[in-house]
Structure 1
Amino acid sequence: MAKVSSETLGTEPIGKLLIKQAVPASIGILVMSLNIVFDSIFVGNWIGTIAIAAISVVLPVSFFIAALGMAIGVGGSSIISRALGADNKEKALHTFGNQITLTLLCTVSLVILGLTFVDQIIPKFGGKGDIFDPAKIYYIIVLYGVPILGFAMMGNTVIRAEGKPKFAMTAMIIPTVGNLLMDYLFINVMDMGMYGAAWATTGSYLVCFLYIFWFFSSRNSELKIRFRHLGLQKDIVSEIASLGGVTLARQAVVSITYLLMNNILFDLGQEGLVAVYAIIGRMLMFALFPVFGVTQGFLPIAGYNYGAQRYPRVRESINTAIRYAAIVATLVFICLMVFPTHIVTLFLNLDTKDPFEIQRNIYVIEKTPTAMRWVFAATPIIALQLIGAAYFQAVGKAISALLLTLSRQGFFFIPLILILPKFYGELGVWISFPIADVLATIVTGYFLNREIRTKLMV
């Protein structure tokens, strides 16, 4: 790969630059999403429907702890992008060193707590009935690798902040391929069941970490830290916490959402509805990968140019990112509206002879397509909400970014799923998704427009 300088973030045409940043990010997210999807397909076909539900129960717990790494990464990367834009290399180095120290302290502490209270946590997230035992197996093994994943997620955002999206993309692809190969080996060949699925996931975390460690140890990175950079500095830690808190709060709300959804759906339809939401949850991670890729590509461009006070380029990056993301979101919407049943059957073992598994499969095929259409009904408009919230994070406006990031799930979706099912039952759960999307987009559009008129028109 050719050597790339962060200075290109302030000089190349925005459209070309966004594509250069977003395509690798999209491919990386696509591959990671495919990893989750294929992992679920393998588990569903080789272990059973209950195994999919068990993984769904565990994911928000491990994701929240791993999100610490991403939160520290995103918060610090915003500082690094602006520091590089302002030609302050020393601040960028100190920020990266502080990110490493914070990631180690936070992830290890939370893993210890997570293992200590395992029997209390799993049922709270919907791991009840037949789901509990396989969920516990998966949970404990995956939690061992979460600190490694935290470092990998943190490092990946820093790579992108340096303006090197191809390396960031590779860091996502390598562990995905490794996980799929280990899935096949451990589950299908060695017949290790849930143990195999868990060790394959943990092994993929390690592969990702090793690649990122190599990147920062090589000449590809501009950030060559020394031991003195690892010492925590109050001002840097405070800024990382305020900006990274946006990402962490978002993931915390996601985890709370899973907790509520799994428990509400278990009460409405037992393990079957939990499995329905598990499949839809995989599609929420997978189907929107190009939109998330555009958002990730937009972050360093907006942050760098804002730090360099090139406000016309910031405005152009906002408009271009929203336009690109809206186009791909609409294409995703069309596919999901047309092919929901075909998608669902990929996750199920239709050749099973087990009468209980056959009954669950029939239930899932009957329920999931309608639910999926409701969940993705407002997909064409989400680009504005995602890019708008990302802008405030990129330019260091932590409170605005936090409030807008939490608006969809925290302020709208959670109250809706607590209220609507009381009146509309299962339908109330699914219609909460598009209602929350519409409300959050309206709010974000208002604040983004005001920001552009008052701050970026100078």
Structure 2
Amino acid sequence: MAKVSSEQLGTEAIGKLLIRQAVPAGIGILVMSLNVLVDSIFVGNWIGSVAIAAINVVLPVSFFIGALGMAIGVGGSSIISRALGANKSEKALKTFGNQITMTLLVTVSMVVLGLIYVDTLIPAFGGKGAIFEPAKIYYRIVLYGVPFLALCMMGNTVIRAEGKPKFAMIAMIIPSVGNLLMDYLFIYVFDWGMTGAAWATTIGYVLCFGYIFYFFLSTNSELKIGLHHFGLNRSILKEIGALGFVTLARQAVISIIYLLMNNILYGLGGEAMVAVYAIVGRVLMFALFPVFGITQGFLPIAGFNYGAKKYQRVRKSIHKAILYAALLATIVFIGLMIFPAEIASLFLSNRPDMTAAEMATNNFVLEHTPGAMRWVFAATPIIALQLIGAAYFQAIGKAVPALLLTLSRQGFFFIPLVLILPHFFGELGVWISFPISDVLATLVTGYFLRREIRGTLF
């Protein structure tokens, strides 16, 4: 693999650079999304649809703790990109050392708390009735691997900030492939059920950590830190916290949404309705991987060139990123509108030994999922502007607008809508909350991004 310097972020043609950054990021996200998708298909076919619902209950808790690492990673990586662009290598090294220390301290503490309050957290996130026991089994085991997940999320953003997207891609592929192989072995061959699914996920996290650890020790990384870089620095911590809080707040809102959705849908249709959302959520993670890939590829380009005061290149990167992401989002939209029933059927078992209750659950899920999927993805073609716009402010270190725009779609608009509309429209009210919030957030982001471009980048 050819060695790449971060300096290319400030010299290479924007279109070519964006593709070079975004394609590995997109492939990595695709493989991770496929991992979640296929993992759910395996669990649904080999364990049952209630098991999919159980995993859906655990995800917001484990992902929130893992997202602490991503928040520290994204916040620190914004500093690293700008520092490298401004030739401040010592600041970049100190920032990376502080990221590692923060990630370990915060995530280990959160895991301890998560294990202590397991019986409170699972029911709060919708793990009720038949869902509780399998969710508890999965939760305990996966939580042991979450610190490794957090370190992987943190390290991956730093690798991308160095301008090494191919290595970041490999780091994302390793846990996905490992998880799927372990799924087959532990669930299908050994018949360990939810225990097997949980250990497969945890082993995937550990494998990813091993690769990232190797990367930073090798000659591929420009960031060679010493012990003195691990000592916490107040000004760096403050900047990491301000920028990282954007990512953390977004994940916190996602966890709140899972909590609300699981409980609202459980009240509307029990375990089967929670399974419908679990399937739609998995498709949501998978289907938008090209857009998220463009967004991830855009971040280091915008941050580096902003730090180097190359504002024309920043402007061009914004326009190119929105164009590429919008085209890809439209292709995804067309596919989901045409094949929702076929996609939903992939998650459901057709075992000959199913009980009458399992068959009834499967029929309910298959009947309700296609309509839900069409509504949830109805505004997909326009969300590129919202995602790129919010990412831009985070990349250049403007924490407040980044936070507000990031939270606008899921926090300021979606949560109030999903609390209000089901009272008037029932199940439909839940699903139409998605496209309405997408449209409103895109309009707000477009306004602020246009004002920023005119005021700062000219």
SS of residue matched to 1:142: helix
Matched to 1:92, the amino acid is A
Tell me the TM-score normalised to structure 2 length.
1.00
1:254-313 deviation line (CA, Å, top 9, x unaligned): 000000000000000000110000000001100000000000000000000000000000
Q: In structure 1, what is the equivalent of residue 149 of structure 2? A: 149
Structure 2: distance between partners of 1:140 and 1:281: 22
- Measured after TM superposition, the shift of residue 357 of structure 1 is 1.0
SS of residue matched to 2:378: coil
Structure 1: distance between partners of 2:60 and 2:324: 29
Structure 1: distance between partners of 2:391 and 2:409: 14
- Measured after TM superposition, the shift of residue 204 of structure 1 is 0.2
Q: How does 1:179-328 map to 2 (within 5 A)?
A: 179-328=179-328
Q: How does 1:72-221 map to 2 (within 5 A)?
A: 72-221=72-221
Structure 2: distance between partners of 1:354 and 1:332: 36
Count of residues paired in the alignment: 457
- Measured after TM superposition, the shift of residue 351 of structure 1 is 2.9
Structure 1: distance between partners of 2:325 and 2:186: 38
Structure 2: distance between partners of 1:177 and 1:258: 26
Q: In structure 2, what is the equivalent of residue 39 of structure 1? A: 39
Matched to 1:402, the amino acid is L
Structure 2: distance between partners of 1:350 and 1:276: 17
Structure 2: distance between partners of 1:355 and 1:70: 43
SS of residue matched to 1:87: coil
Asked whether 1:20 is paired with 2:20, we answer yes
Asked whether 1:365 is paired with 2:366, we answer yes
- Structure 2 residue runs without a partner (length 5+): none
Structure 1: distance between partners of 2:3 and 2:373: 43
Runs of 4+ in structure 1 off by over 3 angstroms are: none
- Measured after TM superposition, the shift of residue 350 of structure 1 is 1.9
Structure 2: distance between partners of 1:196 and 1:354: 23
Say which is worse superposed, 344-353 or 75-84, in terms of deviation: 344-353
- Measured after TM superposition, the shift of residue 354 of structure 1 is 1.7
SS of residue matched to 2:421: helix
Structure 2: distance between partners of 1:382 and 1:409: 12
Structure 1: distance between partners of 2:388 and 2:382: 11
Asked whether 1:401 is paired with 2:383, we answer no
Asked whether 1:69 is paired with 2:32, we answer no
SS of residue matched to 2:397: coil
SS of residue matched to 1:106: helix
- Measured after TM superposition, the shift of residue 320 of structure 1 is 0.1
Structure 1: distance between partners of 2:154 and 2:364: 40
Q: In structure 2, what is the equivalent of residue 6 of structure 1? A: 6
Structure 2: distance between partners of 1:339 and 1:354: 28
Q: Percent identity?
A: 75
1:106-130 deviation line (CA, Å, top 9, x unaligned): 0000000000000000000000000
Structure 2: distance between partners of 1:409 and 1:220: 38
Matched to 1:432, the amino acid is S
SS of residue matched to 1:350: coil
SS of residue matched to 2:374: helix
Matched to 1:320, the amino acid is K
